[in-house]
Structure 1
Amino acid sequence: MAGSPAPWIGSAYLFLQSTCRTVALPALYESSQQKPSIFKALKLALADSTGSLHGVDMLKVHCSHPHLIVQLKFCRQENCRRFLRSYRDGALRAALQNHLQLSLAMGKVPVETELRAGSEHLDGMLKDEDRCLECIYKEKPDRLRDEEITELEECFKSLVLQQNINNNVAAKDCLSPNSVSPPYSSQGSSLSPDVTFTFQEQQFANRTLTLEDHQKFAKLVSKKWKQVGRSLQKNCRALRDPVIDNLALEYDREGLYEQAYQLLLRFIQSEGKKATIARLIAALEENGLTSLSEELLGLRSNEESS
């Protein structure tokens, strides 16, 4: 359309270096076996920083020992701003360390980062967000996406698809009556005959969560599953950032039910007998989900539930 403004496009280079002597990121990336795992960690960490798998593009990954250098392309100022804030607050580095640890199946991978746009070193000006945006905007991408990155993108999509298939199979196994060692008992068990909690001036046994609880939660919590997850994460390491956002990305195609199901599954598997109805009800109440609390505690009639 004539007169329409030009799209906002900018570029920057993210320098990464492991401070662990036994972990050399360039060497791992140059390994054909480890390269997909490194790429996956980079992809998910960048998605965490912008809130979307498409918030920033990787054009090329350079190996310049001891650094791994990622050339980034931003197509929206809003996404670039989110990235800068995540980088400034240390969230991006934490996400990188977490995803590298998970992808490589090893201990903690401490990482140092540096951000540049052309000749400008942005780390020293992060408090001036607009100036950083201007530097990135001035530095236009000098290349199209590298063929290797395109191949890794396809590999990443295949990995995510296979993981989703495996998780769905595992979820179905949990639902099977012949399943071995389910994460919860079919009826739920009270921690102690004397352990109760109060809801709407009534006393309820503080039992462990059941399969029925799990299914009802996934079906009825809808879009508020992430808020409930953040309430649960206060005392659950398995749900700490950026796990919840990663679940949203990994199960985006499957929809809200699967996202909510996987969230509570993580909670149940991590907490074991401590995954109680009282903790879930408290998280629901914190987010205004009284009707779902009533449903889980059997306080709503069948007509009201339908």
Structure 2
Amino acid sequence: MMGMPKQLDVKNIMVQNVEDGPWAGCAVLFLRSCHTMNLLSLYKNTQGKFSVFKVIKLTLTDSAGGLEGYEILKMHDADPLLGVEVKFVDASACRRFLESYGSGAVQQSLSQHASRLLTDSQALSVETQLKAGIHTLDVCIHNLDLCLQHIHQSQPERLRDDEITELEQQLQSQALGHLPQPPTIPQEEIPVPDNCFRFQEKVFENRMLEPGDLQRFSNGVGRDWRKVGRTLGKECRALNGPAIDNLAYEFEREGLYEMAYQLLNRFIQAEGREARLVRLVRALEENKLTSLAENILDIHPR
């Protein structure tokens, strides 16, 4: 009498066979940048589109171990995220990508390339999420076989977008020297949060003026305190008319430091919560006192 056949472990067979023979699968990498950079807005911008694509292409090449084994099919708006649909045509390249993703190397590579190509040396943090079909791979990323299975089961539903084809051709032409390196994207193109302002291509919090600002201003402004006062007075009633001359008369004996101190102190008292850092910095810029603005913002010469 023949024995009963052994029960097969279907799950193990699926995992073992997932890399056998012709292989293809699809995953979507979702990206969201933090703080001062919005990758989605930048990609929608004509000037920024190529640079964002290049950052993602370089990152995928780093993590997949070369240009072969994958292709970008589409980049789409998943507000506030930027979605990148990737087709893998080689299981080994896909496994290398998953290993890099699980170790944090993909996120690190994204941040490094973005900081170099998009923000001109400013550090940039990028958040990521990886999905294959209905499966969020971040929750099982350390089970590479399961992730490969999910990606393999998620077959691409479309051909590569024409826009991606054009960006690929532009990147190849640049690599061959047919196109000059695109200039760094002007900082003006990058949205600045409402509570911040830009000075010398850097972003600063537009906080209320503090005692330290008073001291640095009073120590550094010298005889130019009147000019700065008149600039501030354009939008501050407390410094209009003879107010500045009265300050000079009242505190003449105490010297320039005290006159400058009382000027800015009166501005702060009159404007309250509207006595913001950006107003002082712009007044200093208008009067060609850039070095004093740098001192107040704690910018050190390179």
Task: Give the TM-score normalised by structure 1.
Answer: 0.51
Deviations along 1:99-119, whole A, 9 cap, x unmatched?
111111431110000000011
The equivalent of 1:14 in structure 2 is 29
Distance 1:86 1:60, change over 3 A: same
Q: Specify which of 129, 138, 144 is matched with residue 153 of structure 2.
A: 138
Distance 1:165 1:14, change over 3 A: closer
Are 1:54 and 2:62 an aligned pair? no
Q: Specify which of 35, 42, 47 is matched with residue 28 of structure 1.
A: 42
Q: Specify which of 105, 122, 131 is matched with residue 116 of structure 1.
A: 131
- 8 Å contact kept, 2:25–2:151: yes
C-alpha separation in 2, matches of 1:90 and 1:163: 34
SS of residue in 2 equivalent to 1:149: helix
Q: Which amino acid aligns with 1:16?
A: L
Moved over 3 A (4+): 163-166
How far is 1:127 from its partner?
Answer: 1.2
C-alpha separation in 2, matches of 1:92 and 1:39: 15
Q: Which amino acid aligns with 1:42?
A: I
Q: Which runs of 5+ in 2 are unaligned?
A: 1-19, 182-302
Work out which of the two has the higher radius of gyration on C-alpha atoms and give 1 or 2. 2
- 8 Å contact kept, 1:50–1:82: yes
The equivalent of 1:245 in structure 2 is none
Deviations along 1:281-301, whole A, 9 cap, x unmatched?
xxxxxxxxxxxxxxxxxxxxx
SS of residue in 1 equivalent to 2:84: strand
Q: Which amino acid aligns with 1:61?
A: M
Q: Which amino acid aligns with 1:50?
A: A
Distance 1:8 1:126, change over 3 A: same
Calculate percent identity across the aligned residue pairs: 43
Q: Specify which of 39, 42, 46 is matched with residue 53 of structure 2.
A: 39
How far is 1:158 from its partner?
Answer: 1.7
Q: Specify which of 159, 162, 172 is matched with residue 177 of structure 2.
A: 162
Give the RMSD, CA atoms, in angstroms: 1.8
- 8 Å contact kept, 1:16–1:69: yes
C-alpha separation in 1, matches of 2:117 and 2:175: 12
SS of residue in 2 equivalent to 1:62: strand
The equivalent of 2:106 in structure 1 is 92
Distance 1:18 1:120, change over 3 A: same
Q: Which amino acid aligns with 2:157?
A: D
The equivalent of 2:87 in structure 1 is 73
C-alpha separation in 2, matches of 1:161 and 1:105: 25
SS of residue in 2 equivalent to 1:162: coil
- 8 Å contact kept, 1:25–1:66: no
Alignment of 1:1-306 (within 5 A): 6-20=21-35, 22-106=36-120, 107-162=122-177
Deviations along 1:52-76, whole A, 9 cap, x unmatched?
0223210000122210100010001
How far is 1:12 from its partner?
Answer: 0.5
SS of residue in 2 equivalent to 1:159: helix
- 8 Å contact kept, 2:26–2:87: yes
C-alpha separation in 2, matches of 1:165 and 1:24: 25
The equivalent of 1:240 in structure 2 is none
C-alpha separation in 1, matches of 2:48 and 2:113: 13
- 8 Å contact kept, 2:26–2:88: yes
Range moving further from structure 2, 66-75 or 5-14 = 5-14
C-alpha separation in 1, matches of 2:96 and 2:179: 27
C-alpha separation in 2, matches of 1:73 and 1:161: 25
The equivalent of 2:232 in structure 1 is none
The equivalent of 1:247 in structure 2 is none
Task: Give the TM-score normalised by structure 2.
Answer: 0.51
SS of residue in 2 equivalent to 1:17: strand
Distance 1:108 1:119, change over 3 A: same
How far is 1:160 from its partner?
Answer: 1.9
- 8 Å contact kept, 1:47–1:55: no
Q: Alignment length, in residue pairs?
A: 161
